[in-house]
Structure formats: C-alpha cells, structure tokens
Structure 1
Amino acid sequence: MNEHLQPPQQQDQPGDEREMTPEPDCRPRFPGSGRLADKVALISGGDSGIGRAVALAMAREGAAVAILYLDETEDAEDTVRLVEEEGRPALAIAGDIGDEAFCRDAVAQTLKRFGRLDVLVNNAAEQHETDDFAQFDTAQMERTFRTNIFSFFYLTKAAMPHLKPGAAIVNSTSITAYQGHKTLIDYAATKGAIVAFTRSLSQALVDKQIRVNAVAPGPIWTPLIPASFGPEKVAQHGKSSPMERAGQPNEVAPCYVFLASEEASYMTGQVLHPNGGRVVGS
C-alpha cells in the first residue's frame, strides 16, 4: 500500500509551483458575486500557492490585483495571466519585501496603475528547518523575521495613507502560531507575532473604520512545502491533520475574500482557521 499523499519531491527556496507534482489547485471553485467589485487588492507572495489562489478568488469577485514576488518570474506571469482570464487587470512587482524602500515603492506602483488601494493582504513568508536548536543560524532567524513580520509593518505603514474607511487588511499567520513546531521555531515565532500584530493593529485602526483580520492555514499544498522539507516528509504532508490530507490553496482563499468583503463588516481582530479540522485556541 502506497502511503504517500503526494510523490516525494524537493525544491530550493522559495519554490516553483510549475515544478510541483501535482500542481496545487488555485482556481476558484464557485462563481463570483461581485463582493469586491471595483476594489484594488495588493497581495504579497501573490505569485503562487495561497497568494495566487487569493489573487484569483479576489479577481473573480471583481477586484483588480497587484501581486508582489521575490524572483519567481514564471509563477508571477502565470498568476497575472490567470487573473486576466478572470476579466480583471493585474500587476506583478518583483522585489524583496524585507526591504522597507521596496514596500513603499510597491504601494506607489499599485496606486500609479490602479489609482486606489482597498485591500492589503500580507501573505508572503519563508521557513527553514533546524533539527538541532544548538545549531540555529542567527542570520537565518533575522531573514525569516524580516520576510515574515517586518514586511507586514513595512507594507501596512506604506499603505495606511491610502486606505479609506471600509478598507481591509488580511494577514497570513499559521497553525504553528498556536501549536508551535519543533523544527520551525523561528517561523512559528513570526506567525505568533502576526497574531499579536493583527489584534493590536485592529484596535489601532477601528476608529478609522479599517478592519484587520488574519487567516491561520494548516498543512496546505504550496511551493513552500517542497522548498522547506525533505522528499519523504513532503510525501506525508497533511497526514497529521484530522482530514488526513493537505488542503489546496483554493480551499483557503475564500477566507481571505470573506474577510476583505463587507460580509465581514462586524469582524476585526479575528483569525480564521482552515486547517483540516484541527481545533486550536483562538
């Protein structure tokens, strides 16, 4: 009996969606209903995985989309094409979100192209396994924090002058913020910081009528997985969830659409948990 949930495979960071077997399912599963009609969304890490699925789901709901990516040009081009197939315009911007100057420029490029900004999705992240904490690499830790949480501060600060009442910020945290992970300690720490960032920022912006929420995915089939783990661990990704499988990006993206839309008008400072059935603290 083959116990593999997907074939063993491995990639270098940050991972390439085209090289995954099978490729993640990112396309929206249901027709749109105009919940984000004429809105503009800026999504970090929007080239692949959850970010791509969010871009496509928001486009189907009527949003124009700008995506930020590091250097995965082919994946980014695919996302732009798929957004345009949904009938909405797309902009791809390459750069390092760990650089505050790039974040300011990315917001400026989005405004120049689309004239407004309504939804900010802080999503991009990196992770690296460390089996022995005594061998922990300080430079790696600093890099992980710069990508995973500093960028949230940078992009939000740059976006704030342009977000009007009714705007929404949606942050990607993780199940590891609640359960921890023995070989992803720095990654889990950044995801815990994102929960606190979300709750604190929601309080700071409630008077401005800007809502701030988060999504905490469990094991999802994205390029980050084969880029982070060895082949056999990749093959078992998702097995530990109650549903005994990895989730697909398009099973997570609806959470972001909901939190960005007026359907979530009475929600701020909250976290949704698409994780395959694992019950965690809120």
Structure 2
Amino acid sequence: MTQPPQEQKPPGTESQMQPRPDHGEHSYQGSGRLAGKAAVVTGGDSGIGKAVAIAFAREGADVVISYLDEHEDARDTARWVEDAGRKAVLIPGDLSEPAHCLAVVAQAVEAFGRVDVLVSNAAYQMTRTSLEEIPDEEWDHTLALNLSALFHLAKAAVPHMGPGSSIIGSSSVNSDQPSPTLLPYAATKAAIANMIASLAQLLADRGIRANSVAPGPIWTPLIPATMPPEHVEKFGSNVPLGRPGQPAEVAPVYVMLASDEASYVSGARVAVTGGKPIL
C-alpha cells in the first residue's frame, strides 16, 4: 500500500491529506468503558490525538482537546465529541511553553473539577539527513514540546487526579529503534518511555497509573508535513503488515489503558507497530 507523494507545511492538516486518515469517525463503537471520566488529550486536533478524543467520548468521557493552531481540524474533533453526547473544551496554544501546559490543566479542572486521564500526545519531528542540518532551536523546541510538556502537564495534573486515574504518554517505535533522520524526535520518544516508567513507580502509592503507547508508522498530518514526498509515498511499507496504520487502529489501546479494566497495568509500553517488535 502506498500514498501519493505529497507535502505540507508543519504542523499539517488532515484536509490536505490523500487519502484522508481514518480516526474512527464512522467505525468506533463505545461501550461505556470511560463513563463519567474527564480527559485531557494533547494534539487532539488530528491524527492519533483526534482518534483518541473520539474514542474517549464514545466511551463516555468528557474531553479537553489541546492543540497548537489547527482550528478547523480541532473544531471537527470537538464536533465528533459533542455528537457522542460529551463535553468538548478546545484549548489552542503552544505546549512547548510551560505556562501553557499549566493553563491547559487549569482550564480542564475549571471545566470538569478534576483530571481522570491525561494523554500527552502532541509532538514535533522533522526529517534531517545530517547532524549539522539540525538547527539548535529545532532541537530545543522538539525536547520542549515532546518531552518537557509531559513533565509540566503531569506535575500540574497529579494534584487533581484521584486513585484510578491514568497518565498515558505517546512514545514511538523510534524509542528503541531510532531513525537516524529523526534524531531529536527519537531521543524524546525514548525519554518518554523512560519517564513514564518512572512515573508509574513514583505515583503508585496514590493509585495513579502511567503507561506509554509506542506507535509505528501511523498516517497522520505529521508525515506529509515533516518528510520528503518520496518518503511519504513509501511510508509504512517496511513493516510486516506492509502498510501504515490508521489513527483509528491505535486509539483502542489508549482506551484500554485509560479504563478501569487496566487497573493492574502500569509501567507498560504497548507496541502498535504493524508487526515490528520493540525491545
């Protein structure tokens, strides 16, 4: 399976993608597994975050949708959440700024009174073919958004999380099989897996679980916005299943980790990679 060669400016929008990603809009069916929960999903405008927000809502959760500035995509996510009968709160802004991380949690607490599930998913990557090509500011921004935001969000949210709450970080197959052309991104994804493992132990006495999900090649706006068109065309063809995954195929793992069914699952890193093992 291949996609047409295509390119966008970062962060990318789903409306320009060919084919359009599947976020489970017409397929995901909930069964009340997150009934009454309040969730924060960063990067919730598109891609994995959008699929998670839709699935969470159909499972009964109200959702804060944090995003940068992709207003059209974010409003579409909110529409699907509201169509499921749940409350959607849109919060635009740059999570590489610690103050905005605190503001997202504060607005979630103002809207819902608590945080039951925190999904730290927003991320940046850019393909670079040499070390010298990576701008210093790009390194700093990637670490701030992908990794430091998880720290600031979690630190702000934990005082508002009770026993049974859940923190989920979006890691990657790059966490232990780093792509040389995604050096800053891969480093952050390894650190996320490590940080989540620490949080699982640090927060266990409070009854708060922490896990990460390690997706492989998933068809999201990040791909045409950060990779050369010829790489986009072949994206996902090197995994055993021979194709990129859809956001809708990742979201059920987040649902499981957020649900009370995963009450004894903490410190895990769950692979969703199309058959490519992680260590």
Distance 2:153 2:134 in 1: 28
Distance 1:166 1:9 in 2: 43
**Counterpart for residue 11 of structure 2:** 14
**Counterpart for residue 257 of structure 2:** 259
Structure 2 unmatched runs, 5+: none
TM-score normalised to the size of structure 1? Answer: 0.97
Which of these residues, 157, 160, 169, is aligned with residue 159 of structure 1?
Answer: 157
- Matched residue type, 2:11: P
**Counterpart for residue 52 of structure 1:** 50
- Matched residue type, 1:251: E
Q: 1:27-38, aligned counterparts within 5 Å?
A: 27=24, 29-38=27-36
TM-score normalised to the size of structure 2? Answer: 0.98
Alignment: residue pair count:
278
Which of these residues, 64, 67, 73, is aligned with residue 65 of structure 2?
Answer: 67
**Counterpart for residue 97 of structure 1:** 95
- Matched residue type, 2:16: E
1:56-99 C-alpha deviation (Å, 9 max, x unpaired): 00001000000100110101111000111111110110111111
Tell which deviates more after alignment, 213-222 or 110-119: 110-119
1:110-162 C-alpha deviation (Å, 9 max, x unpaired): 11122221000000000011101133321110010001000000111110110
Q: What is the alpha-carbon root mean square deviation over aligned residues? A: 1.0
Distance 2:197 2:115 in 1: 22
**Counterpart for residue 194 of structure 1:** 192
Distance 2:47 2:60 in 1: 20
**Counterpart for residue 218 of structure 1:** 216
Q: Is 2:18 aligned against 1:24?
A: no
* Structure 1 residue ranges, 4+ long, deviating more than 3 angstroms after superposition: none
Identity in percent: 51
Distance 1:189 1:157 in 2: 21
Which of these residues, 247, 262, 270, is aligned with residue 272 of structure 1?
Answer: 270
- Matched residue type, 1:113: A
3-state DSSP of counterpart to 1:165: coil
Distance 2:2 2:84 in 1: 31
Aligned-pair distance for 1:208?
A: 0.5
3-state DSSP of counterpart to 2:132: helix
- Matched residue type, 2:23: C
1:153-179 C-alpha deviation (Å, 9 max, x unpaired): 011111011000110001000000110
3-state DSSP of counterpart to 2:169: strand
Structure 1 unmatched runs, 5+: none
**Counterpart for residue 182 of structure 1:** 180
3-state DSSP of counterpart to 2:193: helix
Q: Is the 8 A contact 2:17 2:221 kept in 1?
A: yes
Q: Is the 8 A contact 2:78 2:89 kept in 1?
A: yes
Distance 1:244 1:261 in 2: 31
Would the alpha carbon gap of residues 30 and 53 (structure 1) be closer, same or farther in structure 2, given more than 3 Å must change? closer
Q: 1:66-85, aligned counterparts within 5 Å?
A: 66-85=64-83
Would the alpha carbon gap of residues 16 and 30 (structure 1) be closer, same or farther in structure 2, given more than 3 Å must change? closer
**Counterpart for residue 5 of structure 1:** 2
